[in-house]
Structure 1
């Protein structure tokens, strides 16, 4: 409990504990091994604990945490279900069941479990902390604040409770207050990615761009594939006057076919700043097309020949096989990639990553039924945003729009503030000409992320045009056009809004002509 894992392990290995008392130290050895990141020892210890005392709910909670950490999400769920069955009033079991459901299905699924645990013990700080964090992630900030203040009343040094209040202050633009609240954590959670993100936002909000760079750079070093973190680092570098560094940070994104428009726009501005105007124009033109690409599990890291040799030596090691599958995919050898992905899936039925690999390769091959089957399996393990986006993408490719909307609705039921889910739900209603449903969703998104998303503003333009609210449509279109004047989508929808005003028809026709000039082969 003091964090001295080496000394604990030494005591546990002295062999002076009688056999009849071995169950408890086996469980503790598992926890010690996890502290020491020795998964083999942890697995052996927990297996021994099960042999000696299968009726101990706390043991099953530890096993659940071990399995989840090892990537066996389905096994973790089975273990925590066993713990709850053995002791329905076990606070630790109820708390972790909530955490797993939050991971598995979404935020809303976890709340009843935390609330049930708090009925048993209203002052349990770990449960209160998870409950407050979940409320905050759902956008229920007032409720989160009430619980966070209760946590601080019970535990005046609780760093996560102070951090929750920091997030609330930062979201309100009260950066000075956010900084003071962050100082109350006394560095206890300094290297947590979410903390670095918020600290960087505080520095950015106060105009301390070099300090923001330092925070975001640390975040990117911890999460090198986090595009949001890359974009924030790039923006801070740009504002700090380091345009060359912006290009270095964004190069992996810009060289990807599905780069986000914001990253492309930022890279274009950086190229412009170093007088590479020709390249800048090309990058900004790509940003204008809004080609987001698709969510993919494939990122090239090591040459195929090296990975093939590694797999031949370690045929069943997922850490070796997954990069090999990625390399096969990038090389265009989809049949081989699919065969390896299926083998990995069959050997790791409880790991969502294995099913996602099968889905990605199958979707690329046009085998949508196989992709949907794999996604159904990973959805039962973890219904995350990447899984949602893949499901929507495959269902839209199959022209099964109603099923896509049902999937979105289920996801948003548990994750009501998720930006990606709300965005796709709004687009689905725009396609169905359900203007009165689409407009409020898009306004909610606008309130969350501001006016600088050209597609959100263009969607609002379309919705208000459909509703006959011409002035609102033109106002939204004007904002979208200011943000992205070279976008054919924006020019088209803004043009249609202007066409609805008898006095602005000429302007509308000019914009429609511009949209056609940019994208002449688009039938719309």
Structure 2
């Protein structure tokens, strides 16, 4: 114990963490004897703080530094160490205050410039952070470079930030903090593959780097899924149970995985770590909204104040709560801002279009929804909104066209999202900064919208060569190949993207391409892998249920679909249709009829709902009613083989052999038709 209290022992502890604390600034005061009588207690507390910083327990380091200051308020070193803890916890204001106190107590300000620069950066003043970092003495240059790089990134100069960090790492390759900074900058710039590489190196060099552990969790969440990410956040929290950034990411991941109780516990810990945390209140508001408690969600969201202004998730949730409460103008304002920030956010455009239409601004709704409705894979809801908007403007011919599309929207491969800028403008923006993959992707989207798929594909493929770690480049390449019906090549491109980030859009693209290429087993494996990591994902569950029905696994399909219905309600015609098919396939015609009728009531012009209702009537023995509906379904979608197969069976039972043969022949002519054996057997019995 006596050795631990001695100045030399404290000196050794300070030296051990010199790279992260600014060693010379601390060592200059490590041998200074505190003036108070309880100097030994202050020394012990500060020694513990330094030890905790080294092991990654920043919250404990802060507490011990505060204890040292309480025991000796005039010890400059203790204030400097507390400032360093505050910086690691993201508290720039607290850090600046402690640095000022350290300076007032005699701490050399020249040895704290890098810490001041970091504090300014955390307060959002990137310009001041850069100018301050430029005054840092050479002995602290590594820290200053890191702060400067993060300031450049905050100003939007991601390539410059990466170059600065790469230069630092070329002379100091063992700098774990610099690797984690580089990983964050690469992640923000869309180079997910490069971010993964940097984060792996950061955690390997220093397993106590909780910032790197948290980043690793975020990257694993995108690369492999929710469940795989949890251990990384837990590893960070095992070192510091109250590390706020890890708690927020952990809570968000738990919620998406359906572990709502654990999510709530994590948000409460985040509030304990940072009282008034806007992020924690936002996550609690999301949790309340999911539980249907809009009043509580609204109250919690209000507690965030202005801290989350502009955050896409908060704008989306706030608009939904306003809309539910009848505050349509407030909802419109929030969703308009969201669309302005994320013009490719289809969900936001749908919501804004619906709100504008309800408020009487039909033309505004058309302007917002037009880019979505122009897609080949536009959903029925959006197309119906557009049709209603055209009705309001008196353009009934256009309204009729979009209602026809809404009844059975084509599910072709989608073109990239449209843009209002000209190709010349987009090309100029891309050429101004060729290292920016985002601008290159926008340019190739413009080429695709103009119909120049070959040039768009060439741009996308070039982007995969210059930015191989950017999933957007591989997705763009796959999208172009899908439009060109080169499915095997598209699935290969999507697999490259999935190796970097396996999220819902990547999964859906990968599964679709593999299925189109005839690799259903591989597609099923990809879907199963995604759902194993993202068990609450609605799109994945829908697709799984559809395939379960196709495979005759009706019990499993019913379980999947009923769970979905509990979550999305009874207003989804497609979901009710699938439930009808599943129950009928399972031999429960009564329940199947109930769902089929409900689906048909919601969407009487949709061929799938019409066919389901007709098929339910056929199974119940009402051949006449069945034939009428099945004929209607085929007239809407004559190219759909399964609809013709159902109608053929009804014709056969109704004694219309020649008509049945014609329908079955048409079904068999489609190479994608799967029920070929049964169709061929029935065909042999027809005369």
- From 588, 591, 603, the equivalent of 1:484 is 603
Provide the secondary structure at the position in 2 that maps to 1:22. helix
| 8 Å CA contact 2:130, 2:147 repeated in 1 | no
Query: Shift of residue 206 of structure 1?
Result: 1.1
Q: Which residue matches 1:22?
A: 141
Query: Shift of residue 62 of structure 1?
Result: 0.6
**Distance across 2 between alignment mates of 1:147 and 1:319:** 34
**Distance across 1 between alignment mates of 2:467 and 2:273:** 43
**Distance across 1 between alignment mates of 2:616 and 2:544:** 22
Q: Which residue matches 1:440?
A: 559
**Distance across 1 between alignment mates of 2:318 and 2:204:** 42
* TM-score (ref. length: structure 2): 0.72
Q: Which residue matches 1:227?
A: 346
Q: Which residue matches 2:168?
A: 49
Query: Shift of residue 319 of structure 1?
Result: 5.2
Provide the secondary structure at the position in 2 that maps to 1:366. coil
Is the aligned partner of 1:473 residue 2:592? yes
Deviations 1:171-216 (A, max 9, x none): 2332222221112111200210100111011111112222211111
**Distance across 2 between alignment mates of 1:498 and 1:132:** 48
Within 5 Å, which residues of 2 pair with 1:180-195?
180-195=299-314
**Distance across 1 between alignment mates of 2:597 and 2:236:** 51
Shift in alpha-carbon separation, 1:219–1:510, aligned structure 2, 3 A: same
Q: Give the unaligned 5+ runs of structure 1.
A: none
- From 539, 546, 571, the equivalent of 1:452 is 571
Shift in alpha-carbon separation, 1:110–1:363, aligned structure 2, 3 A: same
**Distance across 2 between alignment mates of 1:424 and 1:189:** 34
Shift in alpha-carbon separation, 1:124–1:306, aligned structure 2, 3 A: closer
| 8 Å CA contact 1:288, 1:487 repeated in 2 | yes
| 8 Å CA contact 2:190, 2:437 repeated in 1 | no
Query: Shift of residue 307 of structure 1?
Result: 5.4
Shift in alpha-carbon separation, 1:233–1:371, aligned structure 2, 3 A: same
- From 462, 484, 492, the equivalent of 1:365 is 484
**Distance across 1 between alignment mates of 2:305 and 2:485:** 53
Deviations 1:327-370 (A, max 9, x none): 44344443333333322221221111221222122223333232
**Distance across 2 between alignment mates of 1:515 and 1:153:** 59
Within 5 Å, which residues of 2 pair with 1:421-440?
421-440=540-559
Q: Which residue matches 1:4?
A: 125
Shift in alpha-carbon separation, 1:312–1:114, aligned structure 2, 3 A: closer
Shift in alpha-carbon separation, 1:10–1:470, aligned structure 2, 3 A: same
Within 5 Å, which residues of 2 pair with 1:64-75?
64-75=183-194
- From 630, 642, 650, the equivalent of 1:512 is 630
**Distance across 1 between alignment mates of 2:326 and 2:265:** 31
**Distance across 1 between alignment mates of 2:510 and 2:149:** 37
**Distance across 1 between alignment mates of 2:435 and 2:194:** 19
Within 5 Å, which residues of 2 pair with 1:318-337?
318=437, 321-337=440-456
Within 5 Å, which residues of 2 pair with 1:362-441?
362-441=481-560
Provide the secondary structure at the position in 1 that maps to 2:378. coil
Shift in alpha-carbon separation, 1:334–1:433, aligned structure 2, 3 A: same
Higher Cα Rg, which structure? 2
Within 5 Å, which residues of 2 pair with 1:97-496?
97-297=216-416, 299-304=418-423, 318=437, 321-496=440-615
Q: Give the unaligned 5+ runs of structure 2.
A: 1-118, 643-687
**Distance across 2 between alignment mates of 1:161 and 1:341:** 39
Deviations 1:367-396 (A, max 9, x none): 323222222211111112221121112111
* TM-score (ref. length: structure 1): 0.93
The root-mean-square deviation of aligned C-alpha atoms, in Å, is 2.3
| 8 Å CA contact 1:355, 1:374 repeated in 2 | yes
Shift in alpha-carbon separation, 1:409–1:315, aligned structure 2, 3 A: same
Deviation larger for 38-47 or 451-460? 38-47
Shift in alpha-carbon separation, 1:316–1:62, aligned structure 2, 3 A: closer
- From 156, 164, 174, the equivalent of 1:37 is 156
Shift in alpha-carbon separation, 1:280–1:152, aligned structure 2, 3 A: same
Query: Shift of residue 261 of structure 1?
Result: 0.6
**Distance across 1 between alignment mates of 2:429 and 2:345:** 27
| 8 Å CA contact 2:328, 2:355 repeated in 1 | yes
| 8 Å CA contact 2:548, 2:556 repeated in 1 | yes
| 8 Å CA contact 1:345, 1:355 repeated in 2 | yes
Provide the secondary structure at the position in 1 that maps to 2:360. coil
| 8 Å CA contact 1:496, 1:508 repeated in 2 | yes
Query: Shift of residue 397 of structure 1?
Result: 1.0
Q: How many residues align?
A: 521
| 8 Å CA contact 1:297, 1:356 repeated in 2 | no
**Distance across 2 between alignment mates of 1:424 and 1:235:** 27
**Distance across 2 between alignment mates of 1:5 and 1:310:** 25
| 8 Å CA contact 1:372, 1:391 repeated in 2 | yes
Query: Shift of residue 127 of structure 1?
Result: 1.1
**Distance across 2 between alignment mates of 1:234 and 1:144:** 33
- From 191, 204, 214, the equivalent of 1:85 is 204
Q: Which residue matches 1:523?
A: 641
Query: Shift of residue 304 of structure 1?
Result: 4.2
Shift in alpha-carbon separation, 1:340–1:196, aligned structure 2, 3 A: closer
Shift in alpha-carbon separation, 1:229–1:315, aligned structure 2, 3 A: closer
| 8 Å CA contact 2:583, 2:589 repeated in 1 | yes
**Distance across 2 between alignment mates of 1:260 and 1:269:** 15
| 8 Å CA contact 2:134, 2:144 repeated in 1 | no
Query: Shift of residue 315 of structure 1?
Result: 6.8
Shift in alpha-carbon separation, 1:312–1:433, aligned structure 2, 3 A: same
| 8 Å CA contact 2:372, 2:417 repeated in 1 | no
**Distance across 1 between alignment mates of 2:409 and 2:250:** 38
| 8 Å CA contact 1:145, 1:165 repeated in 2 | yes
Query: Shift of residue 281 of structure 1?
Result: 2.5
| 8 Å CA contact 2:507, 2:530 repeated in 1 | yes
Shift in alpha-carbon separation, 1:59–1:449, aligned structure 2, 3 A: same
| 8 Å CA contact 2:416, 2:449 repeated in 1 | no
Query: Shift of residue 144 of structure 1?
Result: 0.9
- From 182, 207, 211, the equivalent of 1:63 is 182
Deviation larger for 83-92 or 191-200? 83-92
